[in-house]
Structure 1
Amino acid sequence: MTLRIIPERFLPHVQGVLRIATALLFLQHGTAKIFGYPHVAMFDGLKLMSLLGVGGLLELFGGLLMLVGLFTRPVAFVLSGEMAVAYFMFHGVEQFWPILNKGELAALYSFVFLFFAVAGPGKFALDKE
C-alpha cells in the first residue's frame, strides 16, 4: 500500500505549478542580466554578446516560454544544458562538490529542466500534449 498525500490525478497540476514557479525564479536571472533588475552588481556593464549575456538572453526568453508553457520540452532541454554548462564552467572549475562551489542552484535547475524536457509542461500550459 502506498501512502499518497496528494491524489495521483493532481500530478499534472502540481507539475504545472512547479514549471511556473521554476520559470518565475529562473526569469529573475535573465532580467537581472539583461535589464539590471533586480540589480546584481556582478552584472553591471554586462555585454550582450558575452557568455553571460547570451546566458541572460536564454534565461529571459527561455524563462518566459517556460512560464507560459510554450515549446516546453525543447526549451527545457536547452536550459538544462545551459545550467550544466554554467555548473561545469563557473562553479565546478576549482571544486567539484556543489555545496563547496556554490553551484547547487545551477545543478538543481539543470535537473529540474531535464525533468520538464522528458515529462512535459503539466497543466496550465499553452502546449497541448
Structure 2
Amino acid sequence: MTEALAAWTPRVLSILRIITGLLIIQHGMGKIIGWPVVAMYATVQPFSLVGAAGFIELIGGALLIVGLCTRPVAFILSGMMAFAYFIGHFPKGFHPLINGGTLAALYCFTCLYLSTAGAGPWSVDAATKRA
C-alpha cells in the first residue's frame, strides 16, 4: 500500500499546485475583472492594496496552474498571504477561526510548501527542466 501511494507522490504534488492555483486565481478574478461577482470586491480600486493583491493573485494563480516559475511565484504568494493574514485578519483576534484568517493561513503554508517542493511532473517547469 505504501509503495503504491509513494508512486503517486509527484503527481499529487502537481494536483495540489493546480488546485491551489485555481483557488487563488478566483480571488484575483473577483477583484480585478469582477467575475465571479463577490459583493465585498465590488468597490476594489486597481491601485489600492486590495487591487495589488488581486493582480498578484490573478497572475500568480495562472502561473501556478500551468506550473511556470513555480518556486518563486509560490514564495511570493506565500508572503502575500502572510501579509494578508497579519494586516487583514490578525487585528480582529488571535485565532484564525475567529478572525476569519483560516484560508489566508492555509494558502500561506500551502504556497510555502510549493515553493520548496516545486511544481511536480505535470508542469511547464518539468517540461523545460526547471523543476
Please state which band the TM-score falls in when normalised by the shorter chain: over 0.9
Look up the match of 2:7: 9
Look up the match of 1:45: 43
Equivalent position amino acid for 1:20 in 2: I
- 5+ residue gaps, structure 1: none
Look up the match of 2:79: 81
TM-score (structure 1 length as normaliser): 0.94
Q: State the distance in 1 between where 2:52 and 2:80 align.
A: 10
Residues 4-46 of structure 1: CA deviation (Å, up to 9, x unaligned): 2842121110000111011111110000000110011111121
Check if 1:62 corresponds to 2:60: yes
RMSD after superposition: 1.2
Check if 1:99 corresponds to 2:97: yes
TM-score (structure 2 length as normaliser): 0.93
Segments of 4+ in structure 1 off by > 6 A? none
Look up the match of 1:109: 107
Number of positions where the alignment pairs a residue of Structure 1 with one of Structure 2: 127
Q: State the distance in 1 between where 2:11 and 2:73 align.
A: 20
- 5+ residue gaps, structure 2: none
Secondary structure in 1 aligned to 2:91? coil
Look up the match of 2:118: 120
Q: State the distance in 2 between where 1:71 and 1:59 align.
A: 15
Pick the structure with more helix per residue: 2
Describe the shift of the 1:7–1:87 C-alpha distance in structure 2 as closer, same or farther (beyond 3 A): same
Equivalent position amino acid for 1:42 in 2: M
